[in-house]
Amino acid sequence: MFEIGKIYNRRADIHGRYKGQQYGGIATPAAHPYVFIFTGDSGSEYGYIDSFDPNGTFKYTGEGQEGDMKMSKGNLAIHDHQKNNKEILLFEYTSRGFVRFLGTCNYVFHHIEERPDRNGYLREAIVFHLDIVNTQNIDAAQALTSEIVESPKAMYITKPSKGHSLQKLREIALSATPTQASTQEKIQSIQNRSVAIKFYAKRRANGICEGCNEIAPFKTKSGPYLEVHHLTRLADGGADLPQNVIALCPTCHRRAHYSLNYLEFNSQLINEVAAIEAKINE
Ligand SMILES: [Zn+2]
């Protein structure tokens, strides 16, 4: 249906096929089991800043441009998506009218915080915490699902440690969080995944920067110093997929964010990680 990372024309590819509200951040087509949500830079002028929380969830600001946000319409559609058997599909704006598909999300919890509305008045905003599901690795997810059934100590609740093997860290990072788990368990599971993927990248790099292939600049108590960079555009969070993370020396990391040709450099890094991952999976 939608391919992760691919760019779509919102009006033609989404509303042309599924209907739903053509404007605003949340579209709820009546005849299809989807809730489309859109994030992008244009929202930041109305106090909408969507980003990753330290707990690993993606924070998505609800709808309502003036006054306190209410848990109704699109916001309620996100809150109740599991009960209503609807899938949340997350897109980010890449340019006017065009959006990139980032993946399927599950509602975990929400909080209320004070944010300015479009008139600059402080109001109560609903901030959803969503879990972006790794639909890219269906095979891995299915393999893990059977493991969850068989194993009393399920992978999704396994705390990652630096001593774990590359394979074990990958399994934790890719583990699926059961939708029937408690909120507390879900948050723990998401946090485990985001820690696991960072350990994974460092272990895969094995003390050598995956950008420039130089040895890490210095050692720390816990090993060679490298920083984990996420290759997805959504700031420094991103899906917990092995092909989306790279362990870099500080210089390469800064280059990936601040250099004049950072876009070019990032696509170079994406190719390098793809090659490294292909070798591991041989
Ligand atoms: Zn480097």
What is the spatial distance between Cα 213 and Cα 202, in angstroms, rounded to a whole number?
13
pLDDT at 134: 65
Report the CATH number at residue 124.
Answer: 2.30.280.10
Cα-to-centroid distance, 216 and ligand 1 (Å): 8
Whether residues 162 and 213 fall in one domain:
yes
Domain final position from 99, 117, 133: 133
Cα-to-centroid distance, 270 and ligand 1 (Å): 14
Cα-to-centroid distance, 170 and ligand 1 (Å): 23
Enclosing domain of residue 152:
136-280
Question: What domain count does the chain have?
Answer: 2
Whether residues 273 and 155 fall in one domain:
yes
Opening angle at CA 56, ends 99 and 189, nearest 5: 120
Residue 271 lies in a domain: yes
Whether residues 117 and 160 fall in one domain:
no
- Residues of the chain under the 70 pLDDT cut: 41-49, 134-154, 232-239
Whether residues 163 and 238 fall in one domain:
yes
pLDDT at 118: 86
What is the spatial distance between Cα 205 and Cα 253, in angstroms, rounded to a whole number?
14
For 14-44, what is each residue's pLDDT tens digit? Answer: 999 999 998 889 999 999 999 999 987 554 5
pLDDT at 225: 97
Cα-to-centroid distance, 222 and ligand 1 (Å): 19
Residue 253 lies in a domain: yes
Cα-to-centroid distance, 230 and ligand 1 (Å): 15
Residue 25 lies in a domain: yes
Whether residues 100 and 40 fall in one domain:
yes
Residue 167 lies in a domain: yes
Residue 2 lies in a domain: no
Cα-to-centroid distance, 35 and ligand 1 (Å): 40
Q: How far is CA 37 from CA 108, 125, 172, in A?
A: 15, 16, 27
pLDDT at 181: 80
3-state DSSP call for residue 6? coil
Whether residues 15 and 141 fall in one domain:
no
Closest CA to 170 of 204, 207, 133, 139: 204
Domain final position from 133, 155, 176: 133
Residue 1 lies in a domain: no
Whether residues 21 and 148 fall in one domain:
no
For 152, the token pair is 């009393």
pLDDT at 269: 93
Cα-to-centroid distance, 28 and ligand 1 (Å): 44
pLDDT at 184: 87
Cα-to-centroid distance, 197 and ligand 1 (Å): 19
pTM above 0.85, yes or no: no
Whether residues 125 and 153 fall in one domain:
no
Residue 151 lies in a domain: yes
Domain final position from 64, 99, 133: 133
Whether residues 165 and 257 fall in one domain:
yes
216 near 231, Cβ under 8 Å? no
pLDDT at 95: 85
Whether residues 107 and 191 fall in one domain:
no
pLDDT at 212: 97
Cα-to-centroid distance, 41 and ligand 1 (Å): 29
Whether residues 83 and 117 fall in one domain:
yes
Cα-to-centroid distance, 208 and ligand 1 (Å): 8
Residue 204 lies in a domain: yes
87-95 vs 34-39, strand pairing mode? parallel
- Residue 149, phi then psi, degrees to nearest 5: -65, -40
For 125-155, what is each residue's pLDDT tens digit? Answer: 999 999 887 654 444 444 444 444 444 346 7
Cα-to-centroid distance, 226 and ligand 1 (Å): 9
Whether residues 84 and 151 fall in one domain:
no
